[in-house]
Structures are given as C-alpha cells and as structure tokens.
Structure 1
C-alpha cells in the first residue's frame, strides 16, 4: 500500500470515513469482517416450476426441504421417541394450529411448555450456529429478542447458569406468554434454516395459489427469481399485452383454476362468461372441456360454461397473436397465424404441403376473408379484460416484486441459474438472436438485454415505439422459437385443440436441450457467462424430469442440474414425484426429491410431512466457509478498503473525526 494508491481513491475514502470516522471503528469493522469470513457458508435452497402449488411450497419453506426434521432427529435421537420428534417438527412448521390441538389434549400444559421450550431453544441454537450474533439478532422478533438471545447463549448444563435459564422459562410460562414465545421461536427456526432462496422460474399457472406464493415471498427474508415463461406471460398481461392476457385466461380455464384470476387479482370474468354462453351456446366445445385436478370437482353446468369460456378466449388468443406476428415480421412467425390456413368449408387445415383433418370447425366469430380480425363483441370484451388486468393493484404489486427480485439469469457462488435454455446452434456454439432493430445478441448479452427490454415495457420514460415493441416481445418470450424461455420450433396449442393427427402436436426442442448432456457444451456456456472455479454448475428447470422412468436430473457429469421434478399436480403422473429442492450447504450439494404433499390438515393433526429422499450430488473436500462464496469476495474487498482507510488515518492523509 502506498500514497499513490490512497490518493487515487481519496474521494471514496472520504465517503467511507463518514461511516468509520475513527481508527478504532475502522479496525473493529475489519475484525468483524475477518471473523465472518470464517463462518460456515449459509444454506441455499433452489426451487423451480412451483406453478401455483402454494400449500406444498409453503410446507417446503416451513420444513426447509426436510432439513429441520433432519436436525431434530440428530439432536434428539435416543433421547425422545420418534413420535415426539415428529410432533416437535409439526409444531415448528405450524405453531399456532398445533398449539390449539395440544392445549385441548394435554393434561399438564405447564410441564409440556417447559419441556418444549427447552427443546425448541436447542433446535434454534443449532440452526443459528453458522451465523453471527448480529445476523441472528436481526431475525428475532422485537418483543422476545432479548429473551431468545439469552436462552441461545446460555445452557442448562452450565451449573452456574442453570437456575437463571430455568427461571426465564418459568417466567415466560407464568406470565401467560408461552404460546406467543413458542410461535416466535418456531418462526425464527424456519427463517434461519434457509439463508437464501433461489426460485428458477414459473410461479404462475396450473395450481390455484400463485398469488399466495407471492404474498409469502413478500414477507420472506432473502430470495431471488430467474423469470420463467409462465412468469413472463403474466408480466406481459400486466404490461397490457392482450395476447398474453388471453393466454393467461386460457391456461386458467384449461385447468378450471380461476382462484388466482378472480380471488387473487380480482379480474372480472363475467363479461367473458356472458360472451361465451351466447356465442357458443350451440357448440359442445368438447376439445375445451377443462382438465380437473384432484379435489377440483365441478358440476356439469360449470364444466360446460368453463369449456365455452375456454374456447371463446382461445379463438381471441389466436387472433391477437396473429396481429402481433403481422406487426413484427422480423420474428418470422407468420406460420403460426393458424386461422389463415383453415379451409372452413372442408374442415381442413393446411400446414406446409400437408392437409390435416380437423376435430371440429365451428368458428362463429371468424371471418374467413379476414380471420384475424376481432368481431365488435370481441373488441369490447378485450377492452374490458385489458382494463381489469391493468387496474389490478395486487397484480401490479406482485409484478413489481418480480422485477425487483428477478432477472433472466443469475450467477451465485459459481452457479449459473436460469429457467429454461441458453439458445445454441447445432454445433453447440451460442446462437445470436435478434431482439430489436436488427441488434443480435447471444449468451449473457442476450439474457441481459432481454431483461432490459422487459423492464422497458414498464418504464414510463421509455420511448413510445420501444415501449410498444417491449410490450409485444412478451409474446415472443412466451412462444418464440429462439426465446431462452421456450426454445422450441413452435407452441402447438392450436394443433392440440383442433387437429386429429397427433404428429402435428410435436414441438421440436432447440439445440440446448439436445446437447445439454455434454460436459463440453456446459463448460462452453459457463465460460461464456464468465463463471469460473473448479465446482461450477448450471442449474435450471422448465422441463420436467421423468424420475419414474429413470431420468436423472444430474447431467453432463454433474455440470448441469435440472430441478423441475413436477411441483404441479398436473405433472405428477408424468414425473412420478412432486418436485425437487436442491440444497447447497457448507458440505456440498444435496438433491431432495419430494413425494406429493397431501394437505395442511393432515400435516397438523397427524404429523404427516412431505416424504422425501435425499441424493448426495457433490460433497466438498472441506467445509465451505463464507470466504469461499461471492459474499466472501465482497467482504475481502471491503476489508481492503478499510485497511486503506486505516493507512490514510495513520499517515495523516485523512483526519479522524470525533463524533459529537
């Protein structure tokens, strides 16, 4: 360190000195940061493709993907029975509800309180052991912060402190605060069990609780998201893309799942229902009968109405999409203007040189001479639906959360995270994709510029023409061939609804999906994104892993982890499981494979948990510390800056400041 270095950074050091105005304060901070570098690495959890399954998602957060159950077993195995350990876990997951059941059945509640509080303190001490006291303190509820800190750092096996600890617990009980204290302690355990939550896209669609998941995340201490194609669809709808609005409604109606639409965001579907009943009153709409998931039982009349609404919005969707494809010729998606390729008299659809028979050909709102034009009634309906999406305050808040916590990709601790794909050429090189006005990008630049384009759709200071393009581009991100969120030849929605020949349903996957088993290809992608280190990985979701058929989520000799295991009930029959959690702790990677979560009631009353199996993916040769992480790199830079500040103070370059 020399005067030249210090002088060059003088402006920054002057700013730094406002936070650390004396040698003592700067030195204390260096000591603190050096100590933090030697703590164990915090536990990261990776989840993908939640698809509205809010109960299962919340339970996974509460049990930390089985980590809390494992810690309880390690702490109390041999000391208490397995049934008691299960009861303790259920209490940690659902403290308010479990307390009510216990108080109704327990004869000596004060004795139960005393035993349980000591056990909960032991669990809390274990999950907090890898954090600084300062970080633990920040996670504590204000009303019990002092008491919990005292209990965490004093032990009953210390003879000198045993009476002190026992009196604290006795007083909590005698003052009638035991329930509140237990609830607070359980919430602290849940919070400290997961240091950072990564969601690799697709919070929305299929399941009924996407809005509940986002409400949960709104209160969560530390999370990020790499946007998925279904998230992008909802973001497009919120930005005012009418084709995205139609797709959002179509998917909700396909699974007869209107809870998120109506209850979550207050979208008024009465105009759609009225239009559909009148327009398709004589149409059986057989292709549009909804797929009913378990527990979603509807009467015949409701199924009929849902099918009519489903068809009505689908036809409008095909029209709205085609209008955008015509407006954006650079996308080269004219071949997806499917209503133009129908011979309405013969009930035949032409695709290329082939003709295909249609299941039905009843299109009362389609003018064969101008098939992409909305009828006046459809125009009015779309105006109302557009307004409903645009004025939903809760939807606007949730999209703002996705923008503030999310991006197209992230690099964290030598792991490259994205939802679906990095577009490739046939030889495995990164594919250049045109975004706007002839500009082409690949790899990291492509992801970054897509992120900027997404945000441009919501920025009022964006040029009007650019903002309109950004709004349209949400549709390309949803179903464009070179979209990193889709990366297939086509989205065969029309074909699945209307054509008999199932060969037309095939969606050819992009080269990323064909080549991703190659370690060399994964290394090429990691190099392009600047991910370095001996234990670097790509982690993504999007395509369900068919575990029941023996497919392995670990690919490319461990370089790639695909963690979409079918969280959504709609995928359970395909995957044979109910999702994965990838856990990255100080010892390495573990993949937790979940079986279906039944319901919260059984979890509380019977102590039923998500059954899971854990697969060791990669163990580290040494226990990883904060020093081995991105946070460690950041802290070392801060330490270097503080040492320069100390040098400046001690050599008279800067004067210490005495606080008044």
Structure 2
C-alpha cells in the first residue's frame, strides 16, 4: 500500500511511460560518467588567503589540466600566465591592463579567451551539460555553453570566430574571462570536505566561513575549535572566555572586533583598571605583530590575563556543577596557596610564575567579582546577538556534524577514543555509557540542543556545557588528549605538568584490526574504505608520515597555520579523491595572493602518495550512484504500473 502511494506521488512528476523512461535513460547515463573530484582539507585555523588559493588552484590540479590540454604547445611562461588568470581573473586582468599597450592587450585578451574556452571544455568533460550549465553565471550561460560545445567542431569555425569578435567589440571580454576562470575553478572540485578547525588563531576565519557559505557543494566535520565557537555563539560563558583568550593570545582580536563586531571595550576597560600596574609578562602575544599593533600590546596582554582568570573561574564552576564530566583534577584555583604563591597538584607543591590575582578570593576562588560579571554579561550579549556570527554558526550546524561516512571514507577531526587493547572506550554521558559511533552521535545530539533548544531550558544548559566538554575533555573525540593544560602552561614551570598525553588511538592506528573495526563501526567497507582525520599536526621534518596503516588512514593536518609550520616543516596537506584514485598533496608555505598574481609563481605542491584504481571510478560506484540506482528502480516500478494499468497515464 505504501509503495503504491509512493508510485502515485512519483507519477505526478513523471505522468506517463515516456517521461519516466526518459528519466531512466538520463539517470543511467549519469551512472556511467566519471566520479567527481572530492577535495579534503583540515585545520584551516583562520588562514583565509592560503585556503582560498588552495581552492582556486585545486591543490595543483588546474596546473595539471593546463599541461594535459596544451602539452608543449605553450611555454612555461605562457602556462604560468594562464594559471594565474584562472586563479585570480579580475586581479590578473587589472595587472595586464597596467603592463600592456592597447594593441598588446587586445591580442592578450583574444588569446587568453580562446585558451580559457579550451580549459573549460576539458574541465567540463566529465559532467553532464545540465550540471555544467548550472555552474555558469546565468547572464553568460548560453554563450559559454556555445563556446565550450561548438569550438573545434567541423564547419563551425567561422561561427566560433564571430562569437569571439562580438565579445571583444561589445567590451564583454573581461566579464567573460572572469566567468570562465571561476567556472574552471568550480568544475575542478566537485565536492569539498572540511575536516575541522576552521576557527582558531588565524585572522580570517570569518572570511573562510563567508567563502564556504557561497561554495557549491561541501560538508564539514566539526573540530574542537569550531565547537568552541559554536558554544560561544550559544551564549555559553566558559566557551566565550576561551574564544576571547585564544584570540588575545594570538593577536587576533581583530576577528572578533572587526570580523564579527564583538564589543571588547568593557573587557579592555576592566583589564586596564584591574591590572594597570601588572606587566602581565606571562601573557605574551604570539603570532604576527604589525608595527601599528605594538602600542596596543600592553593592553592586549592585560586583556589576555583578565579573560584567562575569568575563564578558569567559569570552568571551575562548570566542573563543580557537572560531576558526571569527571574533571575534578582540572579544579586548580582552590589548590593555590595565595600567601605563599604555590599550587598543590597531585600532592606536590609547585611555585607559581605569577602570583598577582587581584580578583580571586582565596575563600571562594571561583566566584566572579561584580566587575567580571559585568564584562561577561556584555560579552555574552555581543556573541548571542551578533547576526554575522549566528549566520555562520547556523551554517556549521546545517552543513556540519561530528563525523561523516562518504563514499567509504570515514571523516572525523580528532580520534575515536580507545582503550589500550584497541577496544572502543566506554564514556558516560548524562548517566548512560556510549562508545564508538554512538559516542559521536550522543555528543552531537546534545550540542545541537545546546544551540537550538529553548533559552534557559535544562536541555539547552546541558547541551551548552557539552559543547565545552567536546572542546576540552579527555573523552572527547575531537580533542583526544588526557587534559587541556592551559593553566599549567601559563603559571607552572614544569614540563611534566604541561604535557598533554594523546589518546591510545594515536598509538594503535597502525594496527589493521583497529582500522577495520573503526571502518565497520562507521558503516564503511573494511577492505576498500579509508579514514581521514586532522587535529594532530604531522611533524614531517622529524620523519613522521601522514599515511598510517599501509595507506588506510590519512592525517591531513600538515600546518595550514603558520604557528605549526616550524613543527611540521611544511604548510599543509590536502587529499584529492577522483575517478583515477587518491592523491595526498603536501604544500609549501603560501607567500601572498599578490605574489602569485605578479610573479605568476604558484604554491609548490608535491604528491606524497598516489593510489590508482584498476578501473576508473564512475558515479555508479559512489553513494550518490546508489541513490540514483534506487531512483531508477522506482521509475522502473512506475513504468510497470503504467503498463499494467494500475496507474493511469496522463498524456
């Protein structure tokens, strides 16, 4: 009965045998097309310019397509020029207009337009005409389709040449070149996977989010920094304090103030008043400091310390009200002897490097002063009512999740919490135990409630606290260390206390049995499947490899963030999965967009691994292919129902 109802509904879209049969033919044709190119990136950490460039050049794929199309016909200089036009068409044309005479410019436009048409034709060759048309700007869709499909056809040369001449005469060549450049970029990457940590220390997380919101096809797996910002956007005090502290530490308050319009004036006034005679030497500012920022460094250090103390207080209160989080060891403010300037951790006393705590009451160390309460009230209001931030966080919830299984690739940011024997660790959440995939699911469930549930409801409050738990707890899949030693890094000069021990996962991922268990737990094929995750920077310069368990797992955090590049020795990885197989690409540091445009020098990228498939993958081999096959089956049933007279055709 239900199947018949479904077929009746389907008949509204396909009213007769001809319509249903035509759609079967179309879908069957799509199944035989080459699989689209998937692009995997991780740990962007706010590095907008580099991320933008990686999307524009397709991790070197566009340069490869130029070689495929033109071989030895073009010189290296001509290929570089063409590549820079594809990456940054508007800016490159501005530069060429400055450098060339009118006659030279006319010739360059004509030549470049023809070369871009050939490149667009190559990039479009693996897609249906319908899909390519949808990727084109509507104003140029007809003419672009004509140029791409008609060029090179017999008896059409004059027709093609006339179109080119008309484009030049009407002054539309700039607009068309820009449209072709962006089309080639778009067709080079069919689907984007962002495996966490869009946010953190870099200056452009808000710009990355704007870019992602305009992107044609993507998914996101939340990183611990992302979930922290999501918690902050929900109005959670401890998450907000962490976000502001990290931004202050890495000289990135500009993202908060100018990127999102967060009002930091109450914090600045409080810090200047409360810590006016405190040099705050431990609260140094990391990252790039411009000359114009130097005069503000003293204020930033005071703000840094002020919000750090507030953070430790708020976290202490949270730990006390959530004993089920089992984080009592992170209660440290009550372990300080404020007269002697020492702290007792696990029965041993350590001297504190800074003993100036004017806002801490030794009898009630986790209580905020009235002034601190005032600062937090203003910050909470700013975060909750920032329209731009709320738009971004809603997008993260809409397109994101704790994990994703996609075409037999299991994607998650951090790790699957494991026991020493490789079994999934049981973790108690809200009174029940969860492990493996179920742990991810329950944490995501509560995180969504923390943002979307009714204000001040118990479910919302618990969900908000869970977002902080996901950020920092040892059992969090996106954190994966035994503790977050923020306090120790600031105040205690002992390397043992500062050490954050990684989850057993990182010791066991070379074992095939563990990887097969994870793949099957997340509904991927144990033989054909792969795991892709980030979070832990790969120290390439020390001989560490991003490829684990004979190529079954890839850790693709290679140092997008400048802060990690000294540790990793490179500037990031991207993984590319296309119809021919999988490529892991390592990138050298990105100088700047202007350097690429003027010098025509791309990021140098090396292919670290190339796994080719025996038979070229088709759409029919993908998850989307499975859905298309189901649609074909349903349409076949509809055709049968028409032929049997069970459903009447409408002609």
Q: TM-score, normalised by structure 1?
A: 0.97
Give the C-alpha shift of residue 283 in structure 1.
1.2
- Which runs of structure 2 are paired with 1:53-132 in the superposition (5 Å)? 53-107=47-101, 108=103, 109-132=105-128
Deviations 1:263-282 (A, max 9, x none): 11100111111111111111
The equivalent residue for 1:260 is 255
Separation of aligned partners in 1, 2:84 and 2:220: 28
TM superposition shift of 1:105: 2.2
Tell me how far apart the structure 2 counterparts of residues 600 and 155 of structure 1 sit (CA, whole Å): 32
Residues 339 and 372, structure 1, Cα contact 8 Å, conserved in 2? yes
Cα contact 2:17–2:639 (8 A) shared by 1: yes
Q: What is the DSSP-based 3-state SS (H/G/I as helix, E as strand, rest coil) of the residue aligned with 2:95?
A: helix
Once the two structures are superposed, residues 546-578 of structure 1 have per-residue CA deviations (whole angstroms, 9 ceiling, x without a partner) of 111111100011111000001011111111111
How does 1:224-239 map onto structure 2 within 5 Å?
224-239=219-234
Deviation, structure 1 residue 426: 1.5
State the SS of the aligned residue for 2:295: helix
Match of 1:343 among 323, 337, 342: 337
Cα 1:215/1:8, change in 2 over 3 Å: closer
Alignment match, 1:290: 285
* 8 Å contact from structure 1 (residues 544, 565) kept in 2: yes
Task: Give how far 1:345 is off.
Answer: 1.4
3-state DSSP of counterpart to 2:452: coil
Q: Is the 8 A contact 1:563 1:580 kept in 2?
A: yes
The answer to whether 1:323 aligns with 2:313 is: no
What secondary structure does 1:615 align onto?
strand
Question: Which residue is 2:509 aligned to?
Answer: 516
Deviates more, 1:101-110 or 1:263-272: 101-110
Are the equivalent residues in 1 in contact too, given 2:416–2:477 (CA < 8 A)? Answer: yes
1:504 aligns with 2:497: yes
Compute the TM-score of the two structures, normalised by the length of structure 2: 0.98
1:20 and 2:9 correspond: no
SS in 2 for 1:368: coil
Aligned to 2:574: 581
Tell me the SS of whatever aligns to 1:584. strand
What's the counterpart of residue 426 of structure 2?
432
Query: Of 23, 45, 48, which residue of structure 2 is paired with 1:29?
Result: 23
Q: Tell me which residue corresponds to 2:467.
A: 474
Match of 1:375 in 2: 369
Q: In the alignment, is the contact (CA less than 8 A) between 1:91 and 1:99 conserved in 2? A: yes
What is residue 600 of structure 1 aligned with on the other side? 593
CA distance in 1, matches of 2:635, 2:618: 21
Per the alignment, in what secondary structure is the counterpart of residue 510 of structure 1? coil
**Residue equivalent to 1:149:** 145
Please say if residues 577 and 596 of structure 1, whose CA atoms lie closer than 8 Å, have aligned partners that are also in contact: yes
2:429 and 2:440 mapped to 1: Cα distance?
11
Does the aligned pair in 1 maintain the 2:516–2:526 contact within 8 Å?
no
Question: Taking structure 1 as reference, are residues 461 and 23 closer, same or farther at Cα in structure 2, changes over 3 Å only?
Answer: farther
Distance 1:628 1:595 in 2: 34
- What is the aligned partner in structure 2 of residue 311 from structure 1? 305
Supply the distance in 1 between the matched residues of 2:243 and 2:531 (Cα, whole angstroms): 29
- 1:235-250 to structure 2, matched below 5 A, reads 235-250=230-245
- 1:387 is aligned to 2:381: yes
Structure 2 residue aligned with 1:652, among 633, 645, 650?
645
Map of 2:160 onto structure 1: 165
Contact 2:547 2:554 in 1 (8 A): yes
Report the 3-state secondary structure (helix = DSSP H, G, I; strand = E; otherwise coil) of the residue aligned with 1:605: helix
Aligned to 1:174: 169
| Deviations 1:135-170, CA, capped at 9 Å, x for gaps | 0011111111111111111123x3411111111111
Give the aligned partner of residue 133 of structure 2. 137
1:513-567 deviation line (CA, Å, top 9, x unaligned): 2211212111111111221263201100000001111111000111110000010
Q: C-alpha root-mean-square deviation of aligned residues, in Å?
A: 1.3
CA shift digits 1:556-601 (9 cap, x unpaired): 1111100000101111111111111100011100011011111111
State the partner residue of 2:631.
638
Q: Is the 8 A contact 2:333 2:365 kept in 1?
A: yes
Aligned to 1:10: 4
> Distance between the aligned counterparts of 1:301 and 1:351, measured in 2?
38
Q: Is the 8 A contact 1:289 1:304 kept in 2?
A: no
C-alpha deviation, 1:125, in angstroms: 0.7
Q: What's the CA shift for 1:244? A: 0.5
Q: Tell me how far apart the structure 2 counterparts of residues 481 and 236 of structure 1 sit (CA, whole Å).
A: 18
Q: Is the 8 A contact 1:419 1:540 kept in 2?
A: yes
Offset, 1:463: 8.7
2:618 is aligned with 1:625: yes
Whole-angstrom distance in 1 between the partners of 2:292 and 2:2: 72
* Pair 1:79–1:573, CA change in 2 (3 A): same
How many residues matched? 649
Deviation of the 1:375 alpha carbon: 0.6
SS of the residue aligned with 1:590?
A: strand
Q: CA deviation at 1:297?
A: 4.1
Name stretches of at least 5 consecutive residues in structure 2 with no aligned partner: none
Counterpart of 2:556 (choices 537, 551, 563) is 563
Give yes or no for contact 2:55–2:185 (8 Å, CA) kept in 1.
yes
Tell me, in whole angstroms, the C-alpha distance in 1 between the residues paired with 2:478 and 2:597.
38
